[in-house]
Structures are given as C-alpha cells and as structure tokens.
Chains A and B, each alone.
Chain A
C-alpha cells in the first residue's frame, strides 16, 4: 500500500484513504510513547486504526545498535483497518540503525524523516553503513526529510534548564509534533498526557510540550521539499458511540473483571512475570477496588496452583503466562481437569521454542493448548482474534470454565497483547449474567454429583456446613467420589470427562463465515491474530470477483458442531497460521478434509499481500 504516493500521483489534494507510519529509534528513544501519542491523536481525529509495537527483548541495548531498535507502526485510514499495514508510507528513523533495519518495509517513493544529528560516524559504523546514506544517493528512490532534530530540540528546550541528556530526550516529542503536522492531528491529547505524566516535574512537561510545538511549527513554517505537505486522511465512517483505545492486554483485564461479575464470582489472579504476558498482571494489580485479588507467585507452577486452590475455595482462579510458562503449568492443569474445578489459563503466545523470541509474535502453542497434558485430558481452548475481541473472549472463557467446571485455555499473542485499536465501549448492562450456583444442601450430596445436562461436577465450597468432602488427583468413584482404582470406573470417569468437554460444542455459536459465502471455491480458515490480514486479503480478492470466504475459528476446542459440514462446502480450504501448520492438522484429523497449509513463522504478523497472493495462487490452480 502506497497511499501517500498514490495521492500525489492522482492529484487528490493530498487526501488519502489510508497511511502507514512507522516510528523507529533506539529502545531508549521513546518510540513506543511517540507511537501511542500519535495513536491517541489519530483516534480522536476519527480514523480507524491498528498498531503494531515492535520492540526488542533488550531493555536498553547499547545506543545506536541495530538489535536495540524499537519501532511502532500505525495504519490509519478512512476505511476499516484491521492490520497495522503491509508497507510503510512514512518512516521516522531516529538514527542510522533505525534506518537500516526498517528501510526494507518502506514503499518506493515513501517519505523518510531522519534526525541527521544522529548520523555521526560512530553511529553509521555501528549500524553497518560504510557511507552516510543521507549523502550517497542510496535513498534516491524515496523522499528524504533530513533535519538536525537533536540540535533544534536542545535549542528549543534551553529555557527550561535541563541537562543535555534530558534535553536531547525531548527529540521524540519534536518528531511527534512534526508528524502531527504532517497528518493534521491535534496536539491537545499529547500535551494533556505530558502534563499528567510529568505532574511532579513541571520543567520536563514544559520542555516536552515546547518540543512538540516546535516540531509542529517547523512543519508549518519551513519550506519543505516539494510534495511534503499536510495530508488529509478523512475520518472513517464508524458506528456512533463512545470510543477508547485498547490493547489486547487491557481488554483482557477488563474482560476478566467482567466475566467474574457476570459469574458473580470473585477473581483470584495468580501469575509469574513473563514477556509478553506480564501486562495482564500489572493491569489487574491496579484494580483492587474490583473483586480481584492478584498474586505474584514464586514461579509458574505456584501461580497455577494458587489459582486452582482459589477455585476450590469458591473464587474463580485465573493464571496467565506465555508458552514456556504454560509448559510448567501443565501438570497442575491436569489436576484441575481431574478435580473438575473451573480455571482460566491465559497464554499470550510468543516466538518459541524455549526462550525463543520473547517480544515477537507467534501462534505456535495451539498443539500445547489442545493436546499438551499428560493423561487423557481434554479441555476447551478459545482464541481472541484482535485486541478488542479479548474482552468478549475472556467473558466467554469464564462462562465455559464456570458452567462446565473445567480449565479453559485462552490464547492471545504478543501482537494482540500490545497492539491497540479503537474500541466501541460496551455497556455491561447488555451482557447476560451467568451466575454460578454453589451446592448448599447436604441431602444426597456427593462431590461427584453432576448437572445431568452439562455434566458439570457440583461445586461445594469450603465453609458450607454439611458438605465437607475431599477431592484430589487420584481417580474417584463415579458415585461416591471416594478413591477408586476400579478399571470399569476409570473407563466411566474418563468417558464422562470427555463427554462433558465434547458437549460444549453444542453450547457455543455455530461457525459462520466472517466474510463471503458459506460455500464456494475457497475458504481461508484462520484463528487468533491473523484475523486482520486474512480479512483484508479476502476482502480485496472478493472485490476482484473471486469466490473466497473467510472463516475465523474462535472456539478451537471443542470446535463448533457445524464446522466440518461448513468446510466441506468449499472446493479448497487454506489455513494460514503463524506456526508450521497446527490448526491445519487438527482440521484434517477431525474432518478428514484436504486442507492446505500456509505458514509464516518469522516473529511478525502476516502481511495482507502475502495471504492475498496465496489465495490467488490457489484459485488459479482451480481453473
């Protein structure tokens, strides 16, 4: 996508339908903050948007190092936006390392804004440049705006008496100001944000605000090269109502609180720090006024165990981690399966195996979620498709966990967790509560009594007189709940546990097509955060008259009861995934269909055009 360039060519008075901007700099340059500020201003402006924070695992890599480059990408437009964009129209590069590592994503003719003061010999060498790219003509295919930002910023903030270090740090706000000018955004929210952030250090607030204003003024007053002037990206036509931005992590934390309220249960959230899942622990720890107790456990195992203990005692236990941590929790999750206690396990997936790529995204824990336990244990798995969806998915996961007294694994990923998008704020009064009923009658009580329909085991919480009972990991007699090593009983209990989980398929929505017909030439089947890229690619192909549909599976286990029939209605099925082909094998195994795998496992989300060309190739083969 090259909206900026297209606009120039067609002479549309610089009105463009969508733009991708990427801010890149040292991990200490404040690029995430810059991106978030720009996002807020863009949301207020009324564009639809999606963002992609792309940062390294190193907290503060040596200045100027390529591996320390932190980037924030935003795609905003006047039409529906579901990904952070394939190609970059405007690249803001705060140093040579940021330029060399991000230039490949820029469209020919795209705009580069650089801080020329950062292009010192030392920084150039550290980034691997033999010559200065600002001077050797290697950027001729692009439009270059080379500004001595650092020097200007230091001059601008001089009146506030900051040290050189703090003064130079204001350069991200200067750049933000310039970018705000370029796209006609209001500086108000950013300025208000700085006042709040530096409430105790007014001189820092003033300096940063001055830097924003100076960057903006530079755009307004300086004679810039031809073609670099204000672009208008008209507001998107979106549903009326009240909006906010949310990341997946935030939406998930709200969803967990909401789910607890709808189930009429207090939440005990127990977790252990791990990237990129820790945000959920941070978010919920700051919400003590709600019925949520958070617990930073000594390790992953303790976290899940504390959650299980809490569920035994009558709260809803929730634990959260990323792939490696979920592996550690596996034994305890099986205990929750065996004792049939509700439990929510959130997995914010990251690049693996092992430590892998902690800050990058991947969908490689589907097998672990569906199959990754000892014993014959089946449990529901549910995945969020984007940041906003995390809210509803959390509620749905809690509904299932509490109704069926089972652990549920909720899959998010590093992309969804960190990416923000506008959210039409829901009204909690419109959600149907699903209050949990605890047993309280000693008459005929057995800890393995079940709801005849859902097969859910009775939940009797300690503190209830007359219902004293013991549960545990040893197989239980299906009638009395006492320890039983009887072989027929084990068969029976295994069957019951399996039937209970299988039966959930009848209590979830039927699978529909997110886009396109419910039969036809081709279905593109996805799950999780590939939603945006699949959706846009299918949309584009359909605009060209191709018969292709998008099916996105939220309930990965058990799967919707009509999924097999639905998929059988297409001549071809392709399954794009950010792994080496996990869902595709589950679909083949469950429905004996010929599904084609299309995978990417680079730590980055799919680009729209990657999926699009796969669709076109498959449909070409059908002719």
Chain B
C-alpha cells in the first residue's frame, strides 16, 4: 500500500470532459462529492462508484476511483455483488428517479430491505433527462412531457416514503446546489453502516427547470424548507417563528406560529432520528402548504446483510473445520471397487 498522501478534490477528478448540460444540478453534486472524498478516511483505491443508466449515472466516469457504469435500474444488484465479493470496499451507488424507482424499483426495494452497506445517492429531478424529457415516477401530476403532452395523470412516488416503506434505516434528503448541507448529509450517510438512502433534489434546467426553486432560492427557502437536526425543535421560517407540532387528535403534523395562541417552543416537535413514525410523517410534508423536510430524516442502525453473511460463514467454518474438496467428495456414502 502507498504511504498515506494527503489528497485533494482534484485527485478525485478524472481527465474526462464532463458532459452534462450547462446548468445541470449534477455538476454541483459532483463537485461536492469530489470535495468530500479526501476527508472521509477511505483509501481512494477502496472507493467504488456504481451507477445504472440515466444522466446521473454518468457520474462514475468523472470520479477517479473504481467505477462501474452498469445497466438501467440494476446498479443496486451489481453493487450488492461488489460488496458480497469484498465487504471492505466503500461503495457509492448513483441513481436517479427513473433508474432507481421505475425500472430498478425492485432492486432498490431489496437493497434497502437487506440493509446492504452502500451509500445510495438518488438524484431526483422528476423527469427522464437522457431520453429527452419524458415524465418519471416522481413527476407531479400534470407534468407535460413528450409522452404526456396533455399532462401526466398518474400519482407520483415519494422516494423517501418508498425507502422507509422498504425498510431503509437511514433516509435523508438534500439539495444539489447547497454544498454545505449536502456535504454534511453525505458525511453522515457515509458513517452509517448499511444502506444509506439520500434523495437529492436536482434541477434539470432543460426538461424540468426550477421545480425545486422554492426550496433552493435563498429568499423562499427559509419558509419552504424544514431543516432537521436530531434533538432540536422543528423550527423554520425567515423569522424562525414557525414550528411543526403533532396534532394528536388528527394524528398529523401541523404548522404553528411561536407566540401565537400561547404556542411556545415546548409545543414544537423535537426531531428524533430514530423515530420511524415521525420520519414517515416528515417525508410526506409537501409545499406549498408545508415546508419540505431536509436533512437526516431517519437513522436507526440495525444489522446489515453483508456483515451477517460473513459472520455466519465464520461460524460455519469454526464448527466444520478446514474445507478440503477431496474430503467433501469422499464424504457421505461411498464404496470401493477392487
């Protein structure tokens, strides 16, 4: 192994020309990830980026690590194989709303359920970009696209709701251009052993421009975003005077204003990352009525598949003794012919 050399973000960039459209949110995510890498404490050679198909899935070509640009929707399965072969590798899975939730929805479900130790970055731009703008499973009802010229009619899927439903134990949300926020979310995702699911709101300037504008724009963001932090009250708004309260009668979250109707900070919900029911309610908050929850929404560490597979193997080996194929072939019922 090489002696530890201090790397910087340029060491994680390849010499390949980045080919996303000008203004694409993917550029910002790439930059953030490249900058994040040197500080994670993982050797560059042990880092692997696996992707499926779509704009986001070109990502590995621009990361100077090991990378595998696979086929549409199957990156979770391929990444599972990488981890089964070598659990020591730090595997990042790059996917999008079409790749990860439409054609690859089944694999996403199972990789989350099994809690495979992967950092899953789902770039959600609510559109199919690479195939020129068809609506996706996360597109809002009424999205006009080449395949839905009169507006889409099917109800969209909420990626984080899906993830929690599938059994994910680490679910977070962030924003493409908010480097600070994204860095802190990805750092936490990386620390989590198991499948960490991060939905990243990503702007597609060509086919679905400004759909996250309220959340991204500095002027509107304070009212449109609910930034979660474990142990802190859910307060938001330009004047930090709004809060989220649990209406125990209706069993739903509601917005309250501090100082009005006798509401104090004590009435506001305190974020508890380990609370699954709370997480389920938080991910459903939608604008314009509600602020959109971002940050670490759910984090409840549990046993992870790959390490369990290997510890089971270890147990078998301890009890069975050394494996010898000649012995195995001669075990069970045999007979000699003279």
Contacts and interface: CB of A to CB of B under 8 A. Distances in A.
Nearest to A482: B16
A290 interface: yes
B137 to A, nearest CB: 18
A470 B60 contact: yes
A532 B317 CA distance: 39
Given A312-B78, A462-B45, A468-B65, A295 B84 contact: yes
A51 to B, nearest CB: 15
A267 to B, nearest CB: 10
Contacts of A289: 316-317, 320-323
Interface string B64-105: 111111110010111111111110110000000000000000
A427 B326 contact: yes
Contacts of B60: 470, 472
B312 A244 contact: no
A441 interface: no
Contact of B68 (A297, A301, A332, A470): A470
B118 to A, nearest CB: 11
A331 B329 CA distance: 36
A257 B82 contact: no
A288 B312 contact: yes
Given A254-B328, A473-B71, A309 B79 contact: yes
Contact of A462 (B71, B86, B317, B334): B86
Contacts of A504: none
B152 interface: no
Given A299-B106, A472-B69, A314 B86 contact: yes
Q: Which range contains the number of B residues in contact with the other chain?
A: 35 or more
A124 interface: no
Nearest to B64: A468
A295 B320 CA distance: 21
Given A470-B67, A472-B68, A244 B84 contact: no
Given A289-B316, A463-B88, A482-B16, A305 B334 contact: no
A130 interface: no
Centre residue among B63, B85, B313 by max chain A CB count within 10 A: B85
A268 interface: yes
A270 B337 contact: no
Nearest to A241: B337
Interface string B49-60: 010010000001
A108 B127 CA distance: 72
Contacts of A268: 81, 84-85
Contact of B329 (A312, A339, A426): A426
A425 B69 CA distance: 44
Contacts of A242: 330, 334-337
A468 B70 contact: no
Contact of B80 (A240, A288, A302, A335): A302
Interface stretch (A38-46, A54-62, A577-585): A38-46
A99 interface: no
B279 interface: no
A104 B95 CA distance: 59
A313 B336 contact: no
A465 interface: yes
B303 interface: no
Given A254-B328, A289-B323, A306-B78, A463 B338 contact: no
Contacts of B2: 465-466
Contacts of A301: 74, 77, 107
A217 interface: no
A254 B78 contact: no
Contacts of A312: 68, 78, 81-82, 85
A405 to B, nearest CB: 15
B168 to A, nearest CB: 15
Contact of B337 (A239, A254, A314, A463): A239
B84 A306 contact: yes
A240 B330 CA distance: 15
Contacts of A428: 325-326, 329
A471 B109 contact: no
A308 interface: yes
Interface in B295-338: 309, 312-313, 316-317, 320-323, 325-326, 328-330, 332-338
B81 A308 contact: yes
Contacts of A287: 323, 328
Interface in A201-258: 238-245, 254, 257-258
Given A261-B325, A298-B109, A463 B81 contact: no
A122 B226 CA distance: 72
Interface string A243-284: 111000000001001100100001010100000000000000
A308 B82 CA distance: 8
Contacts of A425: 329-330, 334
Given A242-B330, A288-B316, A313 B67 contact: no
B84 A470 contact: no
Contact of B82 (A40, A261, A297, A309): A309
B140 interface: no
B275 to A, nearest CB: 28
B46 interface: yes
Nearest to A43: B335
B123 interface: no
B81 A309 contact: yes
Contacts of B81: 268, 270, 295, 305-313, 317
Nearest to A298: B110
Contacts of A40: 333
B317 to A, nearest CB: 5
Interface string A447-485: 000000000000001111111111111100000001100
22 contacts: A242-B337, A243-B334, A288-B320, A290-B328, A295-B309, A298-B107, A301-B107, A302-B77, A302-B106, A302-B107, A305-B71, A309-B68, A311-B85, A312-B68, A426-B329, A428-B325, A463-B45, A463-B86, A468-B45, A468-B65, A470-B60, A472-B69
Given A254-B329, A470-B60, A483-B61, 13 more contacts: A239-B337, A241-B337, A245-B333, A289-B322, A305-B77, A307-B81, A309-B85, A311-B85, A312-B82, A315-B84, A462-B48, A463-B45, A468-B44
Closest 5 CB pairs of A and B: A309-B81, A472-B69, A305-B77, A306-B81, A470-B67
